[in-house]
A = this chain, B = another copy of it.
Amino acid sequence: MWLQREIVLEPRRRGFHLVTDEVRGALPELAGVEVGLCHLFIRHTSASLTLNENASPDVRRDFGAWFDRAVPEDFAWTHTLEGPDDMPAHIKASLLGPALSLPVSDGRLALGTWQGVYLCEHRDHGGPRSLLATLWGE
């Protein structure tokens, strides 16, 4: 079976946000897949997706602090037309990547106990973010 569906995530402030339940809730067809894959793809170049610790808000805050330090606004950027948060957002987006491929087993995302899906919003005012989810398997 193949399924493809857009999932629109509401605007969020700059930072790292847990969206596992939102993604799962938008894909009730997961229940019908015994073995397969779920591909989540963000259609933007200044936000990204990653998988990380799903329990402690501290972890997500520390992600923000480290990425802001590693890819600072204060750098010799030449592409500055869209604001100081724009070019760092592009770099961060590629470091973390635009897609996640998640295995599906027995009707569920086969994540580890501590794994959750993060929306990584790298802009100050990024607006709503569009994910394209593709689910296939048997």
Contact = CB atoms under 8 A, between A and B. Distances in A.
A122 B130 CA distance: 31
A61 interface: yes
A66 B75 contact: yes
A62 B45 contact: no
A7 interface: no
A20 interface: no
Interface of A: 2-4, 35-37, 39, 41-45, 50-53, 56, 58-59, 61-63, 65-66, 69-71, 75-79, 81, 87, 90-91, 93-103, 105, 110-115, 118, 130, 132, 134, 136-138
Given A2-B36, A58-B78, 11 more contacts: A2-B138, A37-B134, A39-B103, A51-B94, A52-B90, A56-B81, A62-B79, A66-B71, A66-B75, A95-B95, A99-B100
Given A41-B103, A87-B59, A94 B2 contact: no
Given A4-B35, A101-B101, A45 B114 contact: yes
A100 B102 CA distance: 11
A56 to B, nearest CB: 6
